[in-house]
Amino acid sequence: MGLLYQDRVRRQVVAALEHGALCVCDLFAKTQGAFPQDVKQALDDLVTEGTVVLANGTATLAAPARPSACPGDPSLALRALDRVEPHPVDYDWRFSPGTIEWLATEFVSRHLSRARWACLGTPTLFVHLRALGFDAVLYERNRSIVEAIRDGRAICQDLTLPVPGRSFDAVVADPPWYADYYKIFLSRASEILVDDGFLFLAVLPRLTRPSACADRLDVQRTALALGFEICEVRPATLAYDTPAFEKRSLENAGVACKQWRRGDLFVLQRVWNEAGAPLVQPDDYGLWQEYAFGSVRVKVRRGSVKKKGALLMRLPEATLVSRRSPLRPDVDLWTSQNDAYRVGDLDLLHRVLRELQAGISPQQLVDELPTVNDDDQASLACLLLNLWNARLGGQP
Ligand SMILES: C[S@@+](CC[C@H](N)C(=O)[O-])C[C@H]1O[C@@H](n2cnc3c(N)ncnc32)[C@H](O)[C@@H]1O
């Protein structure tokens, strides 16, 4: 029996015992067809290393090991992320504190607390796991978040690009809920996982949008094609905090609700190594330049295009958050508070925001503007004043 195969049988024995103690005869029937001699060998190894306790013919998982060190207070560590307000362009829906804790407890109870973890696009969970002492690395493309975390293990990485030479026992991933993003995250997870490694994947629920059932099916097909097997589906177990931009949109639609968004947790195992096709950037993410004013983030389309019409034309925000919104291509400037504008002179806007960020006051900036009409001056002054207040610590 090859070492690798033996290791896989051991993992399966542990997985079977996660649901409770089993007499050895029953265990033989729950190990995915492995021969009883191989299961017995795996069981003996697990008993010797202290992972399983065997008494009176019944096997039980020993109390799960805690992570090796406990360097920090998780809730304190998470506060660092409050300095970076979620922005719709980043699809930044963050797990609720309860979900973060629940996931960490799940990982511990599945005997994965000493595993090598990769967190793909899950910064809040990464911060919590690190504070608990997990051996985890974060891959996340949002530079503002990575910088706020201040941990050498948080790596600013766009997952459309390969993750160089690493292998992990477990991966947790929460991609933007679109099939093209799932493809990227699943491909990377499959590349960096060891054989039989686990992937914990957040998946959009069936009624997220009209195409959600088809999108879920697509996720499953992609996963299978990349060598994953789906072991468990835990519906509606992942709760999300409602970001400021979504609160605004709900308020504008006259809907009062607090935390409402839930995701399904899929547990997958990479049982086969299947190389995926080359990956491409799914949307216009790379085309935005970001400016920060306090915790408020402003994304402006790169470039210097001039358009006919007003310098700043406010767009209705109600439906913008969805990638399906027909208005999205018109948005040139978008704040994390979900204020969105079409911009007449991008070059001018970039210059003004750079200078505002550097500390030049809105009044001075507006006074020094080249010839623009009174309406343009008034709408720019209003935007700049809001951002200036956010920079000083007040909300816009
Ligand atoms: C839906 S959010 C998940 C956040 C997670 N629920 C949490 O609480 O930490 C998606 C995350 O994936 C990141 N992301 C999106 N596309 C990415 C890519 N191509 N490479 C790396 N990260 C990406 C986003 O910046 C965002 O942080």
Query: Which is the closest atom of ligand 1 to the Cα of 123?
Result: 9
Report how far residue 207's alpha carbon sits from residue 133's, in angstroms, rounded to the nearest whole number.
37
Best mutation site among 96, 99, 119, 122 for ligand 1 pocket (most ligand atoms within 8 Å of CB):
122
CA of 181 to the centre of ligand 1 (A): 10
> 315-318: long-range contacts at Cβ-Cβ below 8 A with a sequence spacing of 24 or more?
315/340, 315/341, 315/342, 317/248, 317/249, 317/252, 318/249, 318/252, 318/253
Q: Which residues are within 8 A (CB) of 111 and not within 5 positions of it... i.e. 6 or more apart?
A: 14, 18, 51, 61, 64, 65
Distance 93 CA to ligand 1 centre (A): 8
Residue located via tokens 């006051």: 361
CB of 169 closer than 8 Å to CB of 117: yes
Which residues does ligand 1 sit against, CB inside 6 Å?
A: 90-95, 121-125, 139-142, 158-160, 174-176, 181, 184
Q: Which of 99, 159, 201, 259 to mutate to test the pocket of ligand 1 (most atoms within 8 A of CB)?
A: 159
Return d(Cα 307, Cα 304) in angstroms, integer.
10
CATH class of 74-270: alpha beta
Q: Where are the domains of the chain?
A: 3-61, 74-270, 285-391
Fold of 3-61: Arc Repressor Mutant, subunit A (1.10.10)
Nearest residue by C-alpha to atom 14 in ligand 1:
121
Distance 139 CA to ligand 1 centre (A): 9
- Please tell me the distance between residue 174's alpha carbon and the centre of ligand 1 in angstroms: 6
- Give residue 96's pLDDT: 96
Distance 257 CA to ligand 1 centre (A): 24
Is the alpha carbon torsion for 371, 375, 381, 383 positive or negative? negative
How confident is the chain (396 residues) per 10-residue block, as mean pLDDT?
A: 70 86 92 89 92 93 68 74 93 96 94 94 97 95 94 95 88 97 96 93 95 96 94 96 90 84 96 75 84 94 88 78 78 92 93 94 88 84 94 70
Distance 159 CA to ligand 1 centre (A): 10
Q: What's the gap in Å between 307 CA and the centre of ligand 1? A: 32
Residue type, 257: C
Query: Among the atoms of ligand 1, which is closest to the Cα of residue 95?
Result: 8
- What pLDDT is attached to residue 255? 85
> Encoding tokens for residue 382?
């209003």
pLDDT of residue 1: 43
